[in-house]
Each structure stands twice: as C-alpha cells, then as structure tokens.
Structure 1
Amino acid sequence: MARTGSGRNSKLDSFLKRNTDRAVYERIRAYEPCVVMSESVNKVFMHVVLSDECVYLAEYPPRALTAAVRFSQVRHVELVNDLPDFLSGKDRERCQHIRVVYVTTNPAGRKEDVQRKDQKRLPALPPAPPRSYQPSASSTVKGDANHLSAPPIRNQTHEGGEELQVLKTVRSASCPDPETLSLRHLPRFPIQPASPTRSLHSPVSPILSPTLPSSASHRSPKSPEPGQVTKRRGSVLARLLMRERVSGGERDGEGAEREAELHLYAVSQMSRIYLHLHSSWNSFVIRSTLILDPLHRKRCGLSSSPSPHKHPTAMSWERTAHLFWQLSAELLQQGISLESQYLLLQELRTAAHRNTTLRKLFWRSSDVCVFLVQTLEDSMQSCQSSEVLPTDVLTTDQLLLSTLITQTLAVMFRETEVEPARLSILTAKKGALTVQLLLAVVCDPELHTHQEESSLQSELRTLLAEYLDAACSLLFELVVLGQEASRCSSAEVFLTLGWIFRVLQPHPHLLSFIGYQAQQVVLVLSDPQLEVLSPTQSVLLYQRCRVLLACLQYSCHLGQHLRSHFREEFRYYVKPSCAEEKLPLHYPISQPAQKLVTQLLTLILQ
C-alpha cells in the first residue's frame, strides 16, 4: 500500500488492517489527510483512503471507515485552480483542490433513518458547493499539481454557526459497525484444495484458483464475522456520510439521477493524492469495461459474471508467492523450448489478470521482467530482420510470442503504480531497462515482402495487427507512468513524458508506428459497418487517444507529423457524434473516451 503526503500513518494503517478483510486491505492503494467538503461534510480534516473501487473517508484519528464515492459513480476527476477561503497565506495559494463529480440518485439533504436514534438533532448542513467550482475563464484546471504544506485548519462550522464535532464513539476501534465499514460484505467463494504441484497444461492454473481464505491472524478476534451486523452506534461523521449512500431501493427508481460533487483539499507539501485518485479511477474504468467482454473473460479465465466488483481470488499471499516463484523458475530455466515458454507466459498473463498480488510480486524481483524485455527485443528484431523471410513459420511463432509478452507486461503495469519495487526497476541504471523496453515495443507496422499475397501472408498481417494493438496498450501504460512522473517533483523520478519521447525519437519506425495508431482511430470511428464497439475495442480506442494526445502535447516532432499527415482525415472522418454513437452508454469507459476524442480532434486541427 502507498502512503502519500506525510508518509506512513501507523495508527491508520493498523486500523485498516485490523478492521478489513485481508483481500480488501491489500487492495487499498493510498491514503492521505485532506480537508473534505461534500453535501454532508463541511470542511472537515479527514483521511482519504483509496482502494481500487472506492474513495473511503475516515475520521481523524480513525474510528470509522465510510464509502464516500464509488468509482462506478464517478464522471470525472480534475484539479481546480482556486483559492480556498478557509485557508490563509501561502497555504491558500499552494492548496491542491481536487474536484470529483459523480452521479447519485440520493436526494440532496435527505435524512437517513439512522438519525432517528440520535437524541440531539444535527445542525442543518450547507448545500452543495456552487457550480463556480467548475473551471472557467477565471478558474481553470491546472496542468500540474500544486503542493502545499500542512495548513492550520480553522474550526469548521456549518452555516448555522454550530461547530461540527466528530464525537468519540462507544465502540472499540477493533470492532467497527459493519454498516459503516461496508467492506466485509464481499462475496465469499468456496474453498478448493490446493494442488501440491502446478500443471502447465491445465486450462486454469492453481495460481488462478482460490485456495485459502484470509489469514486468521489478519482479522481481530473481536471483529464481526462476515454477514453479521452489530447494533452499536456509529460516529456522528459516519451518520453524516451515510446520507450520500445510495440504497438498493433508491436505485430501483426512488429519486432522479443527478450530479453531486466531492471536494478534497490536499494538505501535504508532497501530496500525490490527485495522481493516485485519477489513476485508480482510470484503472477501474478500464477493468470494469473489459470485464463486460465475454472473449476477454474467457481469455483471462474470469467468472462468467460481468460484475467488476467481484474478486474471484481468495488465495493467500504466501500461496500466491510460492506458485509465482515456482512458475518463474521454470520460465527462466536454460534450454526451455519456445512452446513451453509460450504456455508458461499464457499462464502468467492469465494469473496476473485475476490476481493483484501476483502483479506486485512480479516487480519484487527484476529477473522475470528483464527476461521478458530481452525476449521481446530479440523476437521483434528477428521478425523484422531481412535475414528471416516473413513467410517463414518462425516469424509467425515469434509474432505470437511477442504479442503475449507485450500483453503480459501491460497487465503487470496495471494498478501497480504505488509499488516501490516497480519504480526501482524502471529507474535503475538511469532507466536502462525502460529504454530497452521502449525501443523494443515500437516496430514497423508493415510487412515488407516481394512475394505474392498468400494465406500465410494474410495470417502474418493479422498477427502483426494483434501485436500493434498490444504494443499500443503497453505504450499507454508507459505514457501513464510518464504523466505521473511529470507531476512529481522528486529528482529520482525522471521517467517523464519528455524523457520517454526523447528516448523514442531516434527509433527508425517511430513515425510509421504512431501513424498506424492514428489511422486506426480514424478507421474505427469512420467505419459505417462497425455500428457499436466491443468493450475491448472501446478500451483500445481510449488507450490510442491517450497515446496520441501525449504525442501532440509533449513531442513537437510527433505533433508536427500527426498534423501534417492526418489533419484532413480527422477533419472529415472523425466526429464527436461518431464516438457517441459507437460507444454504448453502459460501458464505463464511454464518456472518458468521448472526451478524449474531442480533445484529440481539437489538437490535431489546430
């Protein structure tokens, strides 16, 4: 777990570990103290806790953990350039104001039944922040995150003048109210006996199969069992936040859908909460869209249920680590055949899709990562070497292997940005491995052959197109890495977008590779026979747009190439209305993708 801002908070960390299931605790990505403002909370200093599905809020000091906004509700996350009136001096100027817009069906100011038990009525709460918080000519979204030192927070009061106090609850911190915590009601999966050995040829590896429940030592003996609901009274803050919770009955039609806002004011000089929040939401949108695709679920060995909220793995960290190191040893052994290598990598990719722990373990040792990058480099050089004919069967095998390696690496990057070992590997020796990966993943998108078109040539073109799709997804992950590094003031994090494009610029096939990605955006959005994009196609469109936007914004060389070669195609064939028609509303990625298409079109036509 990443601890941002002022660093590790042992009291909060202990509280989270003691009061959540291990699987939930391991999915918490970051936490940081912020001043929080919403429809129910008026400028309260709190812990903001980010998981891979939700923004939680905890009192300061922690006594309850409440879900504030789920990423499935979020429409956009942005930085706002304003001067908070409750801060003063330099703290007011340096404040990092994050605005989260989300959709809810809960009427503003609604009183929940839990308040009926209160002997003292709570003061009236202020209305939602005015729309002036939206960026405008005088209040625009920042390009870089501003940081601030921990400010002296004034006594926070409601409009009525009565101070809002977080009262100490009567329950123990080790035994919270499950209704407040909202974390123990995750689905339970049947325990299956673990196989003592791993079968490489079985469709589902033991790494993929749930074997052990959460460690018994992880949960406090006082904690309620899953499904139990205690009657103990929650804190004042928890009851306030429950007003924003959307119950099942409200989703069924009680109340119209409306937008609400959550405002977070970072109070740490080294704050990275915006980066983690945006990255967590971005990962959720991609994951929850891909899981709608039956082909993706089948490839990844996932459940037939498309729900992105279900986590099919309940394997312990120890068991996952044992199986991962066993697989790694087999993959790295000398004299391994190409077929065995391919089967092992298939198993690794499938397991990584299902298991976040495995993705973290991947970065704990550089051996497998270095091996994959080196194998990708050798394979792609052989594919495009004049010494190997494109019609050779060896080229087909190498393209298949290269695609699988690229897909595996892209999965390993996903949702591991807070893993310190990942940054250590990518920055070691002045980023030598990252340079090698960048130069290896970019290739010539054309098959150069003097032979006539044949069935094998057609197969090779199909395989090359699959590789180019996978290469774009991996380059997208590297672009996200560069964007995060560009906002970080640490001298150790030099993997910025500017650095990435400087590394790529000498590559002989860079222009044709980026041009191919732009051409695919045009074809997807202008093809009249393609009425609706699949979930996988929608994610790929989103990733391509992010990569092309980065090229236009951070590389003069690539920006000039895209405008000179694709301006007219984008002008006549790429329309925001086309994106709206081809991206179904029920895809979580549709609205972010539509926004990217509009931004891309604007920059290319400049």
Structure 2
Amino acid sequence: MARTGSGALLSRRNIKLDSFLKRNTERAVYERIRAHEPCVVISETVNKVYMHVVLSDERVYLTEYPPRTLTEAFSFRRVRDVELVNDLPDFLHGKDRELCQHIRITYVTDKPAVRGRDWLRRDRRVGLPPAARPSRRTSHCPTITHTVERLPAQRSPDELRTPSTARSASCPNPETLGLVGVPRSPSTAPTPVGSPTFPLPTFPDTGQVRTVFAPAVVQNTHRTSSVLTALSIQVPRGIGAVLSRLLKRDSASGGVGEEREAELHLYAVSHTSRLYLHLQSSWSSFIIRSTLSLDPLYRRKCSASPDSCPGKRLPAISWERTTHLFAQLSCELLQEGIRVESLYLLLQELRTAAHRNVALRRLFWRSSELFVFLVQTLEESLYGCQNTADQLLLSTLTVQTLAVMFRETEVEPARLHLLSATRGALASRILLALICDADPQTRNQRSPVDCEALLFEYLDAACSLLFELLLLGHNASRCSPADNFLSVGWILGVLQPHPHMLSFMGYQVRQVVLVLSDLQESPLSPLQSVLLFQRCRLLLACLQYNTRLAQHLRSHFREEFRYFVKLSCAEEKLPPRYPISQPTLQLVERILTLHLHG
C-alpha cells in the first residue's frame, strides 16, 4: 500500500483500516481503492462525525473511526460538482480551524430528504435526555465545539426486541446516513462489496495468443490522524421506535424515486490533505471512462467497464503473474533491431492491456526503461527525416499508449519520482516531443503522401496526453515545495517557446470553435465529447496559467468566441445522458468568461 516520500501525493498507510477493507470487500473492489483519509463528515443526517472517507475509482465510501461498517456514500456517476469552500468552520479552534480543508460534494440522489433534525428538536421539548458526556480521548485532537447529532437507527420491531450493540458517536447506523449501508460484523463472515470482474480479451502477437491482465491493484493511501472528541445523543429505545415510524412515514410521503440534489461536506483537518485532489482526479477519470464506455466500438475493443458486462466473472490473475507477463512484453519491446511492424503490434497489445489493467500501468512507472523507450520512439518517429504515413501512425499509437499509462496512476509514487527526477528532465522531453506543426501543407512539403487525416488523428491523441500531463501538474502543485516546479505553470512554460506551440494550440482552439458553433449540427459522439472536455481543460489552463499564450489566444480568437461559440449549441450537442456533458458545459462557460472579459 501507499508509503510516504518527498513530495509524494500519497499518505502514510493505516494498517488497521487497510486490514478492515481487505477483509470486508471483494478483491476487485479492494484492489481499486485509490485513497482514504480521516475527516469530519456532515450530511443531511450526520452532523460533525469523525470518519474515514474511502475512495475507489467508481464510488466513495464512509466508515467509522475506528472502522466497523462500510457504507457507500455515492457513485461518481451521480456527482455534479466537487469544490473547495473557503471558510473557517466554527466547530474547530486554533490551527485546526485555519488548516482545515472544506470540501463540498454535490450529487444527485433519489432518496427523499430526511428531516431528522426537525424530529430531534421537536422531541427535546418533551423530555429527551441531555447529550452524553464528552469522550476522554482528546490528546492531539482538534476540538469540536458543537454537539454531534445523528438520527437513531431505524429498526424493525424484531430488532427492537433484541439488545443492540453499543455504538460510538463516530459509528452511525448506515441507514441513518441516508445512504446504501453495507454492515460488517467481526463475528460473521464479511459480505462482499463491489462490482463483478470483466471478460478479458486476447491479443494476436505474430501467431501467438498472450494471456491478458486482469483488473489490478490500485495503491491505497491514508494519513494517520488523532481522534476527534464527539458527543452523541442517546435516545431511549421506545422513543427511537417512535422516531423510526415518524421518519418512515415522512419518507413515504416525500416522493421516493424523484431525483434531487444533496450535499456531502468533508472537513480534512490537515493542510497537506490530498483528499480534494483525489476526489477531483477520481471524478474526472470516472466521467471520461463512463462516457467512452457508451461507445460500442470503444467498449468492445478497449474497455472492461463493469456496466458493459454485468454478471460475468473471471478469476483475477495474481500480481506475480501480472508482473511476469509485463516483464515479458517489455523485453520484446526493448529488443535490439525490432522492426516497425513488430513494434506497432506490440504497442497495440500494451495499450489495450493497459486499458483494462491498473496493475500494468503501475508496473510501467516502476522502471524508467520502457518510458524512456516510448519517449525516444516518439521523438524519432514524429521528427524523423522520412515522415511517412507509417511513422505518423506509430507516433499516434505511442502517444495513445503513454496517455493510458498516465490514467488513474496518480497514487503511484514511482510516477511522480520518475517525472520529477533531475528537475523534470524526462517530463520536459515528453512535452517537447509531443508538440508538432499542425499545418498539413507544411508537413506535406516533406512527405510523399497526403497525411492530413493521420496528422489530425495524432493531434487529437496529443491533446489527450497533454490533458493527462496537466492533471499531473495540478496535483503536483499541492505537493511539498521541493516538487512544486512540476506544476501547470511549469508545463506551459516548457511548451510556450516551442516553435510549433502556437500552431498546435491554434488547431485545438479551432476544433473547439467548430464543435461549439452552428457549423456542426449533429450531436457529439462519446469520443468527441471526451475530446471536447480535454480541449477545454487545455484551453482553460492556457488562459489561466500562461500570460503569453493567453494574450495570443485572445488576440487571434476573440472574434470566433464572440460570434460563433454559443453555450446553447454546446447544450444541444452534448447529450444529457453523457456523464461528461455537465462538467464540459461548466468549462465552456468559464472559458467564454475568460476569453471575452479576461
């Protein structure tokens, strides 16, 4: 699991929570957990409870401190916004109050609004007992000044006849969270949580069939922290039964099944918390993956989405076997004198396997050999003297493979260490190798064939890889000062003097204008929607983080954005069923504001 390092995005592992998650989740779920952190949680029915927040690549879970049950808070499919709130929570004091990071997550739920606090306030007037005394576990803890409120468990009559196990203030019943609870008991076998594994394809390799990699381990992270003092309202069993009936009656009349927005507030009491970054990255990866999975061709060739193959299970391959197969493929790629045709086939195999297997992507970053080889391949194929269609195809495949390797591997410490080594020498190489002249006429003067379509395909792939590099920059910006140089500003600073950077950006901006104007009427495909999202993120970064690029874009494209780019067109062309549509519309609105009024 995760270990600390200089400037790493990860936190120290929590052995107790690790063990709990490993025992109480299916392997497919446990191996795809990205991060976990303790923080104060506030929802509709939980008020200032100290809990663990556990992030997988598809869902957010909550568990008590110490862990007893695992509760699904929501799926990233339902998230509408993840934002940092600039405030000072009044229930904290001193440094805890100043260093706290308040994260607000807005998501859609079909559960009726729970008015539990109204019932609690109403019953206090008829003689509810006072809150329990504070716990004595207060050493090295931030102090909460407000009473922690939570609803009594909604129990059936049979459950009410059975003496219940005492629960701490940080151990709310999953039913009371207004979420989908997954109870766990140390005395019983754990109930698996998660989605099924997926069917795995085979890859042709000069007449042979290679074993393909299974869903893999994602590093789990945790920052140890002290326990907050929490107060709990103790409700007698009889009153609890009354409240349970009232809440059920209220829920029944609340319009079950109607979607509405709800909020979950997380307070990370640490200025070094990475929770917000992990949430943003996980959400971004999820909406991209989910949108792409709507494309039948992509789903069949490149995806192993849980929604695409429900109910099908295959045994997961071991980490040792995965390592062996990856080492075998790496040796074939790195062999001397490999022909272009063989290299192309092996890269296809590597890219497709990496789509399905996070373990392979993690292994990729643990040795610099293959990464350096791919960067060198890109440099030679894109800027080689021959400049043939085959070389352009190889460049596109190399960039696509690198983009997949970046995806969902931000919790792998070897990645940041490799890219930040020697003041970002390898990062600079890949950035400079990525950019090329986007003018087909200029390139055709050196090429015996018309490569316009192939060039545009490469430019699309290059935008996707640059998007992943910018995500790396956003994450690295919050690391220790020693690694702050690998930021979005640094990335754009490396690219800005490139002789073809303005031509490259001009192509990307023209594609955004074309898609968001009346010139193109048909709705966007899933692939086109993802590419639009990535281009908008690139354009927004240029406007926000590089003065020269921002001035160039405003002076050369202001009229296009003023008269052609329309938010109403974007709304028409981005189908609401695409998970990426709403975030893209928010980006377009911000770009229009910066472009026209910046």
Q: TM-score w.r.t. structure 2 length?
A: 0.80
Task: Provide the C-alpha distance between the structure 2 equivalents of 1:430 and 1:313, rounded to a whole number of angstroms.
Answer: 42
- After the TM superposition, which of the residue ranges 467-476 and 149-158 deviates more from structure 2? 149-158
CA separation of 1:306/1:497 partners in 2, compared to 1, >3 Å: closer, same or farther? same
Residue 550 of structure 1: how far off its partner (Å): 0.4
Could you say what secondary structure the match of 1:29 adopts? strand
Q: CA, structure 1 residues 549+23, in 2 after alignment: closer, same or farther (shift >3 Å)?
A: same
Select the residue among 303, 320, 323 that pairs with 2:322: 320
Equivalent residue, structure 1, for 2:277 = 275
The amino acid that maps onto 1:351 is A
Q: Which residue of 2 aligns with 1:502?
A: 493
Matches within 5 A, 1:346-385: 346-382=348-384
The answer to whether the 8 Å contact 1:5/1:271 transfers is no
What SS is found at the alignment partner of 1:268? coil
Q: Does 1:62 align with 2:75?
A: no
The alignment partner of 1:72 has SS state of helix
Could you tell me how far 1:152 is from its partner in structure 2? 2.6
Equivalent position amino acid for 1:592 in 2: P
Aligned residues: 523
- Offset of residue 16 of structure 1: 1.1
Q: 2:456 aligned to 456, 465, 480, which one?
A: 465
Residues 33 and 48 of structure 1 are in contact (CA less than 8 Å); yes or no, is this contact kept in structure 2? yes
- Give 2:472's aligned residue: 481
Partner of 1:24: 29
- Is 1:332 the counterpart of 2:345? The answer is no
CA distance in 1, matches of 2:76, 2:309: 14
User: 2:79 aligns to what?
Assistant: 74
Q: Deviations over 1:184-233 (max 9, x none)?
A: 3522568x9x99xx8514797421578x99xxxxxxxxxxxxxxxxxxxx
Give the distance between the partners of 1:531 and 1:450, measured in 2 at CA: 30
Q: Which residue of 2 aligns with 1:44?
A: 49
Q: Decide whether aligned partners of structure 1 residues 292 and 306 sit closer, same or farther in structure 2, where only a CA change above 3 A counts.
A: farther
Residue identity opposite 1:165 in structure 2: A
Residue 452 of structure 1 deviates from its aligned partner by: 9.4
Letter in structure 1 aligned against 2:394: L
Equivalent in the alignment of 2:186: 173
The structure, 1 or 2, with the larger RCO (C-alpha pairs under 8 Å, 6+ apart) is 2
Contact 2:21 2:30 in 1 (8 A): yes
1:61 Cα deviation (Å)? 0.6
2:395 to 397, 402, 406: 402
CA distance, structure 2, for counterparts of residue 474 and residue 87 of structure 1 = 42
Q: Which amino acid aligns with 1:422?
A: R
Equivalent residue of 2:205, what SS? coil
Alignment of 1:187 onto 2:196: yes
Answer whether contact 2:51 2:170 (CA < 8 A) is retained.
no
Structure 1 range deviating more: 442-451 or 576-585: 442-451
Q: Structure 1 18/560 Cα, relative in aligned 2: closer, same or farther at 3 Å?
A: same
Cα displacement (A) at 1:310:
8.6
Q: Counterpart of 1:445 in structure 2: which amino acid? A: A
Is 2:99–2:270's contact at 8 Å kept on the other side of the alignment?
no
CA distance in 2, matches of 1:304, 1:486: 33
SS at match of 1:418: coil
Give 3-state SS (helix, strand or coil) of 2:324's partner.
helix
Asked whether the 8 Å contact 1:186–1:310 carries over to 2, the reply is no
Q: Structure 1 CA distance, aligned partners of 2:443 and 2:489?
A: 38
With normalisation by structure 1, the TM-score equals: 0.79
CA distance in 1, matches of 2:391, 2:570: 35
Distance 1:168 1:303 in 2: 32
**Root-mean-square deviation (CA), in Å?**
3.6
**1:573 lines up with 2:564 in the alignment:** yes
1:15 aligned partner: 20
CA positional deviation for 1:405: 0.5
Letter in 1 for 2:389: T
Per-residue deviation at 1:269? 3.3
The superposition leaves residues 46-86 of structure 1 with CA deviations (integer Å, 9 ceiling, x where unpaired) of 11111101111110011111111210110010001112111
- Describe the SS at the equivalent of 2:212: coil
Q: Distance in 2 between matches of 1:103 and 1:427?
A: 39
Alpha carbons of structure 1 residues 313 and 466: separation in structure 2 relative to 1, 3 Å: farther
Take 1:60 and 1:261, find their aligned partners in 2: how far apart are those partners? 21
Q: Which amino acid aligns with 2:433?
A: A
310-319 or 547-556: bigger deviation: 310-319
Deviations 1:548-605 (A, max 9, x none): 1000100011000100000000111111111100000000000000110111111111
Report the residue type matching 2:104 in the other structure. R
Match of residue 221 from structure 1: none
**Which residue is equivalent to 1:605?**
596
Cα-to-partner distance string for 1:8-37 (whole Å, 9 max, x where unaligned): 211111111222222211111011110000
The answer to whether the 8 A contact 1:55-1:67 is kept is yes
CA contact (8 A) 1:87 1:153 kept: yes
Deviations 1:485-523 (A, max 9, x none): 123344234210111112112210011111110011001
Runs (5+) with no aligned partner, structure 1:
112-121, 128-148, 214-235
User: Following the alignment from structure 2 to structure 1, what is the Cα–Cα distance between the partners of residues 62 and 364?
Assistant: 30
Distance in structure 2 (CA, Å) of the matches to 1:283 and 1:605: 30
5+ residue gaps, structure 2, are 4-8, 123-139, 154-166, 174-182, 218-239
Cα distance in structure 2, aligned partners of 1:274 and 1:105? 25
Query: Which of 77, 85, 92 is 1:87 aligned to?
Result: 92
> Is 2:250 the counterpart of 1:256?
no
Q: In the alignment, which of 493, 516, 529 is matched to residue 525 of structure 1? A: 516
For residues 176 and 484 of structure 1, do their structure 2 counterparts lie closer, same or farther at Cα, with a shift above 3 Å needed? farther
Greater Cα shift, 526-535 or 354-363: 526-535
Match in the other structure for 2:579:
588
Please tell me whether the aligned partners of residues 407 and 468 of structure 2 are also in contact (alpha carbons under 8 angstroms): yes
Measured in 1, the distance between the counterparts of 2:506 and 2:312 equals 38
Determine the C-alpha separation between the residues in 1 that align with 2:395 and 2:109.
Answer: 44
1:428 CA drift (Å): 1.2
Question: 1:530: how far off?
Answer: 3.5
Cα distance in structure 1, aligned partners of 2:353 and 2:205: 12
- Asked if the contact 1:123/1:158 (under 8 Å) is kept, the reply is no
User: Aligned residues: percent identity?
Assistant: 63
